[in-house]
Amino acid sequence: MAHFDIEHLTFSYPGSSVRVLDDVCLSAERGSYVTICGKSGCGKTTLLRHLKSVLTPHGERSGEVRFDGMLLDEVSQRDQSAQIGFVMQNPDSQVVTDKVWHELAFGLESLGCDQRTMRLRVAEMASYFGIQGWFHKDVRDLSGGQKQLLNLASIMAMQPSVLILDEPTSQLDPIAAADFLNTVRKINLELGTTVILTEHRLEEVFTAADRVVVMEAGRIIADADPVSVGEQLRASGNDMVAALPAPMRIFYGVTSPAGVGMTREAAPGDVISHGISSGGVSTSERCPLNVREGRAWLTRAYGGARQKPMIQTTGAKLTDETQGMSQAPGAKLNREERAIEIKDVWFRYARDLPDVICDLNIDIAIGTMHAIVGGNGTGKSTMLKIACGAENPYRGTVRLLGKKTKDFKNGEQFRGTIAMLPQDPANLLVKKTVREDLSEMLQFIPGGGEDAIMEAAQTTGVTHLLDEHPYDLSGGEQQRAALAKVLMTHPKILLLDEPTKGIDSFFKARLANVFSELKTNGMTIVMVSHDIEFCASHADVVSMFFDGSIVTTNTPRGFFSANSFYTTAANRMSRHLFPQAITDEDVIKSCKSITR
């Protein structure tokens, strides 16, 4: 008997004919680790919410869900509360009480446990999850990662037999996300708790999962072990290939004749013949799921061909791409060439607080996309605030297009010079529809009308969303709607704070297109991001931020190929053979150039 059995579940929201879930059949064995993936809006969240009665949305429903062989609706609320743990997306809004210890006990209080039991369970949980150090803290003093771990721990305190997680890491930075997923893995391995998880960051979960389920438009299109699912997706030329972990994408890119970018055109069911493919690589190799396996595979396949000249030619070819830039990054720019000039800047939020920014110097060239990477709490976001003049440094100067930020009076820099897209784009959208939100910006455009709105909407690809409520949009859509609003001020410089946070790979690709189009029109883009892969593929210049200032500035290739920890999966996997390769495409190209 499976732990969860979903049989022919079909669901649509009231008043809508769209089937959000369409004849979904899925079963999860006791102790298994099932990952559900798919594009935003494919029905993952709706499916998970059907696994717990209190969360099940209202609407037209047919089919059934069984928990331990019993119809879920017949399982008592008490049993469901304890047995079925549910972790949601937003770490902040799940926390109910104001103290860590109280939150840990929350579920136990609901179940009516006595003090002695609660004391023990809470102690047990705090010890298992390493929470002792912040047990007495206020919840508001925790980082996002700690909050999400607390949510997990407070659910585990009820000793559930199944743990359901709905994109639990989408709001976390990569380090916190990996920590969190490792803890989930640990629970699965050490306690045998069944895990059902949706994710868009597939790097970590693919190695952990026993089974991967891929959904598309409310249907399940693949359901097997990770390697087979990858193969199925590749064979059918599905878009989801782009979301697979880098080692898998590279493997498919090298072994399929068309290359990974072309898989879309391959006819469905076009199975690549086994044996020796045109790349000269045996496709009977098992597809690597993580960097370790990917490295081993590359060494087996190309290690023998490692000859100096070859590497150098590939290296040379790869560096060619960046020569479109007028000057090497880090070189001295003339003042006219600088969009932003930050000179000897020091900043702190209050007199008795430590410096957040110390001795910061950076020049950002006009018309480039400049990415700033670095850990949490190093002052990256503060730097953006200083760059746009929202905060003033206590020492040093900031110039925007040659004019000091101090000389912009009354926030006039925000009308046509610079604009910032904050980390939570929903904070920009305050009206009932996207259209209303955009029209309120018309006050800044003399003589602007409907065409100005359409122009911004077209650039960002939100024309079909104009009449939606901003809160009904997905993360990626919200991001673009907010961007449209920002663009209505016609800024010459655009600041972006974590633009890819919580966004899946498809929306990321669309966002990247929008950015590159803006750049072609002469806009300067400065982006603060944790998303190394995104920066490697789309930025012109990358800077590393650490401890309040910039440590180094370089082209993405120069930057990432010089790092050995803080670099892309593709680079970590292939750096022993192709030190210059930083993106999937680089590695694929390099592999193919060797065999040719």
Q: Say whether 589 sits in a helix, a strand or coil.
A: helix
Contact with another protein (CB under 8 A): which of 115, 284, 334, 521? 115
User: Cβ–Cβ contacts within 10 Å for residue 32, how many?
Assistant: 19
Gap between the Cα atoms of 195 and 379, Å rounded: 36
Contact with another protein (CB under 8 A): which of 6, 24, 75, 105? 105
Kindly report the CA angle at 20 between 17 and 21, in degrees rounded to 5?
A: 120
Residue placing its CB nearer to another protein in the complex, 96 or 189: 96
Residue placing its CB nearer to another protein in the complex, 107 or 145: 107
Q: Segment contacting another protein (CB under 8 A): 32-40, 238-246, 399-407, 441-449?
A: 441-449
Residue placing its CB nearer to another protein in the complex, 147 or 295: 147
Residue placing its CB nearer to another protein in the complex, 107 or 393: 107
Q: Say whether 258 sits in a helix, a strand or coil.
A: coil
Is residue 444 close enough to count as binding another protein by CB under 8 A? yes
Is residue 462 close enough to count as binding another protein by CB under 8 A? no
Is residue 4 close enough to count as binding another protein by CB under 8 A? no
Residue type (1 letter), 4: F
List, in order, residues 6 or more apart from 294 with CB less than 8 Å away. Answer: 246, 247, 250, 251, 288, 569, 573, 574
What residues numbered 149-188 form the site for another protein, per CB under 8 A? Answer: 151, 154-155, 158
Is residue 114 close enough to count as binding another protein by CB under 8 A? yes
Contact with another protein (CB under 8 A): which of 86, 180, 302, 534? 86
Is residue 52 close enough to count as binding another protein by CB under 8 A? yes
User: Cβ–Cβ contacts within 10 Å for residue 484, how many?
Assistant: 28
Residue type (1 letter), 227: V
Is residue 122 close enough to count as binding another protein by CB under 8 A? yes
Nearest-approach distance from CB 469 to another protein, in angstroms: 9
Is residue 24 close enough to count as binding another protein by CB under 8 A? no
CA distances 228 to 201, 257, 287, 380, Å, are 19, 19, 9, 41
Q: Segment contacting another protein (CB under 8 A): 111-119, 200-208, 361-369, 523-531?
A: 111-119
Contact with another protein (CB under 8 A): which of 34, 36, 420, 473? 420
Contact with another protein (CB under 8 A): which of 23, 63, 111, 272? 111
Gap between the Cα atoms of 340 and 526, Å rounded: 9
Is residue 143 close enough to count as binding another protein by CB under 8 A? no
Is residue 94 close enough to count as binding another protein by CB under 8 A? yes
Gap between the Cα atoms of 17 and 467, Å rounded: 19
Token code pair at residue 37:
């993936």
Q: Which own/partner contact pairs does 23-29 have at CB distance under 8 Å and 24+ positions apart?
A: 23/63, 23/219, 24/63, 24/215, 24/218, 24/219, 24/220, 25/220, 26/213, 26/220, 26/223, 27/2, 27/3, 28/2, 28/3, 28/4, 28/162, 28/194, 28/196, 29/2, 29/3, 29/194
What residues numbered 390-419 form the site for another protein, per CB under 8 A? Answer: 390, 410-411, 414-415, 419
Residue in 237, 257, 249, 274 with CA at minimum distance from that of residue 595: 257
Q: Segment contacting another protein (CB under 8 A): 86-94, 228-236, 311-319, 320-328?
A: 86-94
Is residue 108 close enough to count as binding another protein by CB under 8 A? yes
What residues numbered 334-393 form the site for another protein, per CB under 8 A? Answer: 385, 388, 390
Residue with tokens 């390697």: 227
What is the DSSP annotation of 84-95? EEEE-S-HHHH-
List, in order, residues 6 or more apart from 3 with CB less than 8 Å away. Answer: 27, 28, 29, 30, 31, 32, 67, 68, 161, 162, 194
Token code pair at residue 454:
């359409």
Contact with another protein (CB under 8 A): which of 29, 30, 64, 118? 118
What residues numbered 467-526 form the site for another protein, per CB under 8 A? Answer: 471, 485-486, 489, 495
Nearest-approach distance from CB 111 to another protein, in angstroms: 6
Residue with tokens 């109910």: 96
Residue in 49, 88, 42 with CA at minimum distance from that of residue 72: 49
Is residue 319 close enough to count as binding another protein by CB under 8 A? no
Residue placing its CB nearer to another protein in the complex, 96 or 296: 96
The answer to whether the CB of 547 falls within 8 A of the CB of 358 is yes
Is residue 102 close enough to count as binding another protein by CB under 8 A? yes
Residue placing its CB nearer to another protein in the complex, 55 or 272: 55
What does the DSSP 8-state code read for residue 256? S
What residues numbered 265-284 form the site for another protein, per CB under 8 A? Answer: none
Gap between the Cα atoms of 554 and 550, Å rounded: 11
Contact with another protein (CB under 8 A): which of 272, 426, 509, 512? 426
Q: Segment contacting another protein (CB under 8 A): 85-93, 175-183, 210-218, 358-366?
A: 85-93
Gap between the Cα atoms of 291 and 203, Å rounded: 9
- By CB under 8 A, how many residues form the interface with another protein? 66
Residue placing its CB nearer to another protein in the complex, 110 or 127: 110
Which residue ranges make up the site for another protein (CB under 8 A)?
52, 54-55, 77-78, 81-82, 86, 88, 90, 92-99, 101-102, 105-115, 118-119, 122, 139-140, 151, 154-155, 158, 385, 388, 390, 410-411, 414-415, 419-420, 422, 424, 426-431, 440-441, 443-444, 471, 485-486, 489, 495
